[in-house]
């Protein structure tokens, strides 16, 4: 038994020694280095060393930060609102996007209903996605011929708006591709920023509208058109033509007036929104939102008439605006108006000021209530000052007089007080 154990130990020792010797030989004749898979995927050391690194200044979470870009980072998702999804290049599944995420070449961003996102390539180039939109981001690269930087964005569907800063001038070009067409947008003025909107229509045509500044738009076939402020260019689905048109003027709001307040008790009031009709418009687009930037929209409707009625708004502040629509062409939005709905179930305060002993038939009675409330003294309406104070002169009789005072606030809540005054006349 002892001999067998010794033999086992010797065999194991020989095997370990042989394995150690084999590893040393492999290390000597086959030194460590980059794996084959890495060699296939990576750039050569020369190419990697010659790549020009650049700083990209991006805005995220309200703060500006400087990122060192090695050529992979293209942009930053500067803002997100509600349902924004992101699919990285080569990935199979979508995931929820986070504000401040870095975007790389061929990353896709998608927005759902009432959602929005802002993609910032650099301070000079920003793209804003509207709801139900999908874009595939392409890199910002140099054009050695025209000496421009190109911000590529392949737009599949939805709405997109962008801004090119005036300092960039013609140095930045936005190239947009839809299902059947392609166009390049370049700022045509250095006096002010150039802002534009792009919408893909159901027939796969595209409308590019300049809302500020001016832009040169070039179709894939080489056709070029200059689009000024409040003008649009329609690109056919086949991408073989550009038709420039002037947008209709923005509609002016009529009712409710700016800052209107609606008080209610249980049921919200019916609010009628009206704006001035336009002979140049086939229809209108109406938006109602909880924020002045119209990101948290309650209503986004296309209408044939210049009015909209809503009877179920919750308490809070709201903002509304309207837009004229002519075929696929849209005007700027008209002025923004604000309104407030206040749910009030509390009776208004009511305090009376009077002397209980009257020495003359004409006797004063005053008091104070909630500003904006209506007051009746013995059934007669009296004027209420801005601070809620009121004053009335009673016509009393000798003996005991009972006077009822009623206050009704704007929501319909009611308060009553009774004044008992004894008339003792000389």
CATH for 82: 2.60.120.1440
Tokens standing for 225?
């058109």
**Nearest residue to 342 (alpha-carbon basis) of 413, 390, 423:** 413
pLDDT recorded at residue 131 = 80
Banded pLDDT at 64 (limits 50, 70, 90): very low
Give yes or no: residues 166 and 274 share one domain. no
Tokens standing for 216?
């040169």
Give yes or no: residues 206 and 76 share one domain. yes
Angstrom distances, CA of residue 105 to CA of 42, 69, 93, 154, 270 = 16, 12, 17, 11, 49
pLDDT over 70 at 170, yes or no: no
Range of the domain at 323: 253-343
Tokens standing for 31?
């030194």
Instruction: Tell me which of 28 and 413 has the higher pLDDT.
Output: 413
Give yes or no: residues 103 and 241 share one domain. yes
pLDDT recorded at residue 238 = 67
Give yes or no: residues 377 and 283 share one domain. no
pLDDT over 50 at 70, yes or no: no
Write out pLDDT tens, residues 93-148. Answer: 899 988 888 888 888 898 887 788 888 877 767 788 888 888 887 765 555 444 45
Give yes or no: residues 96 and 239 share one domain. yes
36 located within any domain: no
Give the contacts of 236 (CB within 8 A, at least 6 positions apart).
Answer: 181, 205
pTM of the model: 0.62
Look over the chain and give the mean of its residue pLDDT values, rounded to a whole number: 78
Integer Cα distance of 182 and 159 in angstroms: 15
Integer Cα distance of 79 and 106 in angstroms: 19
Rg (CA), the chain: 36
Integer Cα distance of 401 and 364 in angstroms: 13
Integer Cα distance of 122 and 252 in angstroms: 35
Counts for the chain of helices (H) and strands (E), in that order? 3, 37
Burial (CB < 10 A; 0-12, 13-18, 19+), residue 213, is buried
pLDDT recorded at residue 55 = 36
Give yes or no: residues 236 and 113 share one domain. yes
At which of 275, 309, 343 does a domain end? 343
91 located within any domain: yes
How many CB atoms neighbour CB 142 within 10 A?
Answer: 12
Integer Cα distance of 73 and 22 in angstroms: 45
pLDDT recorded at residue 34 = 34
pLDDT recorded at residue 364 = 94
Q: Is 369 helix (H, G, I), strand (E, B) or coil?
A: strand
pLDDT over 90 at 61, yes or no: no
Instruction: Tell me which of 49 and 112 has the higher pLDDT.
Output: 112
Give yes or no: residues 67 and 163 share one domain. yes
Give yes or no: residues 276 and 234 share one domain. no
50 located within any domain: no
Give yes or no: residues 338 and 358 share one domain. no
- Residues of the chain with pLDDT > 70: what percent? 77
Banded pLDDT at 176 (limits 50, 70, 90): confident
pLDDT recorded at residue 233 = 82
Write out pLDDT tens, residues 283-299. Answer: 999 999 999 988 888 99
Give yes or no: residues 119 and 235 share one domain. yes
CATH number at residue 317: 2.60.40.10
Please, what is the Cα angle at 394 between 392 and 398, to 5 degrees? 160
pLDDT recorded at residue 179 = 60
Write out pLDDT tens, residues 15-46. Answer: 777 777 766 665 554 444 433 333 223 333 33
Stretch 206-228: mean pLDDT: 80
Stretch 377-394: mean pLDDT: 94
47 located within any domain: no
158 within 8 A of 136, measured Cβ to Cβ: no
Give yes or no: residues 281 and 382 share one domain. no
Number of structural domains (the chain) is 3
């Amino acid at each position: 038994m002892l001999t067998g154990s010794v033999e086992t130990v010797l065999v194991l020792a020989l095997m370990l020694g042989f394995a150690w010797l084999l590893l040393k030989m492999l290390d000597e004749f086959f030194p460590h280095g980059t794996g084959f898979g890495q060699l296939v995927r990576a750039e050569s050391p020369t190419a990697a060393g010659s790549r020009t690194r650049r700083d990209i200044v991006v805005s995220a979470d309200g703060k500006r930060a400087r990122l060192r870009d090695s050529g992979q980072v293209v942009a930053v998702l500067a803002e997100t609102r509600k349902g924004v999804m992101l699919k990285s290049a080569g990935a199979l599944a979508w995931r929820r996007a986070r504000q401040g995420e870095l975007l790389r070449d061929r990353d896709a961003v998608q927005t759902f209903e009432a959602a929005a996102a802002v993609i910032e390539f650099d301070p000079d180039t920003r793209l804003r996605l509207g709801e139900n939109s999908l874009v595939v981001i392409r890199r910002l690269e140099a054009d050695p011929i025209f000496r421009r930087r190109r911000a590529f964005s392949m737009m599949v569907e939805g709405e997109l708006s962008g801004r090119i800063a005036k300092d960039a001038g013609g140095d930045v070009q936005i190239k947009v591709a839809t299902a059947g067409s392609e166009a390049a947008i370049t700022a045509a003025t250095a006096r002010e920023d150039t802002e534009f909107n792009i919408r893909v229509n159901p027939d796969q045509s595209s409308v590019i509208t300049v809302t500020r500044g001016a832009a040169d738009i070039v179709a894939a076939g080489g056709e070029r058109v200059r689009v000024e402020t409040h003008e649009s260019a329609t690109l056919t689905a086949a991408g073989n033509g550009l038709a420039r048109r002037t947008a209709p003027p923005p509609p002016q709001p009529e009712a409710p007036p700016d800052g209107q307040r609606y008080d209610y008790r249980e049921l919200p009031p019916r609010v009628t929104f009206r704006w001035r009709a336009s002979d140049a418009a086939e229809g209108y687009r109406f938006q109602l939102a909880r924020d002045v930037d119209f990101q948290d929209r309650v209503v986004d409707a296309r209408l044939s008439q210049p009015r909209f009625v809503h009877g179920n708004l919750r308490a809070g502040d709201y903002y509304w605006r309207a837009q004229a629509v002519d075929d696929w062409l849209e005007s700027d939005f008209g002025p923004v108006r604000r309104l407030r709905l206040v749910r009030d179930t509390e009776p208004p305060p009511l305090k009376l000021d009077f002397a209980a002993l009257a020495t003359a038939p004409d006797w004063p009675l005053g008091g104070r209530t909630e500003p904006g409330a209506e007051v009746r003294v013995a059934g007669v309406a009296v004027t209420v000052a801005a601070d809620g104070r009121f004053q009335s002169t009673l016509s009393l009789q000798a003996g005991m007089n009972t006077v009822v005072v009623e206050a009704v606030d704007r929501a319909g809540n009611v308060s009553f007080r009774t004044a008992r005054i004894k008339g003792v006349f000389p």
